[in-house]
């Protein structure tokens, strides 16, 4: 089988930059890019970090007594905020030592003892 041969007419060779016969309209370059330092696109963030968007908004548990939300799952850890009883929260994760990571409005709050929560 013979290899394909590219045939150029005299007209297309004379006007190598003009492809009007192919696309139907005359195309002329507006500017010439030269060198290595020119933008070919705009920078944009590809992956942004949304920590709250991965936690569902639906509550799963309710607090049965006032509780201090803590930074770590220990009783002597500093408290972030005080929550009152009957507050509905989402349990994100239960730890092996009976603490729960809770969230409200898709925002992670911290740790509370699992015994202070009742399922809805």
Chain segment 76-86, per-residue pLDDT in tens: 988 889 999 99
Reported confidence tier of residue 52, pLDDT bands at 50, 70, 90:
very low
Domain range list for the chain: 54-119
What is the rounded CA–CA span in Å between residue 88 and residue 58?
9
Contacting residues for 73 by C-beta, under 8 A, at least 6 apart:
95, 97, 99, 111
8 Å CB contact between 63 and 91: no
Chain segment 22-36, per-residue pLDDT in tens: 777 776 766 666 666
- Neighbour order of strands in the sheet with 79-83: 79-83, 67-70, 107-113, 99-104, 88-94, 61-63, 117-119
CATH superfamily of 54-119: SH3 Domains (2.30.30.40)
pTM of this prediction exceeds 0.75: no
The mean pLDDT value for 6-16 works out to 50
Q: If phi over 0 gives left and psi between -120 and 50 gives alpha, with beta otherwise, what is residue 3?
A: beta
């Amino acid at each position: 089988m013979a290899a394909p041969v590219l045939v150029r007419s005299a007209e297309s060779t004379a006007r190598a930059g003009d492809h009007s016969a192919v696309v139907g309209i005359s195309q002329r370059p507006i500017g010439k890019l030269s060198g290595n330092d020119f933008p070919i696109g705009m920078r944009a963030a590809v992956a942004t970090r949304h920590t709250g968007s991965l936690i569902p908004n639906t509550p799963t548990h309710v607090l049965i007594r006032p509780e201090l939300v803590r930074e770590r799952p220990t009783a002597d850890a500093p408290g972030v905020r005080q929550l009152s009883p009957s507050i509905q929260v989402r349990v994100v994760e239960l730890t092996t030592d009976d603490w729960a990571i809770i969230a409200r409005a898709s925002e992670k709050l911290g740790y509370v003892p699992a015994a202070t929560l009742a399922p809805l």
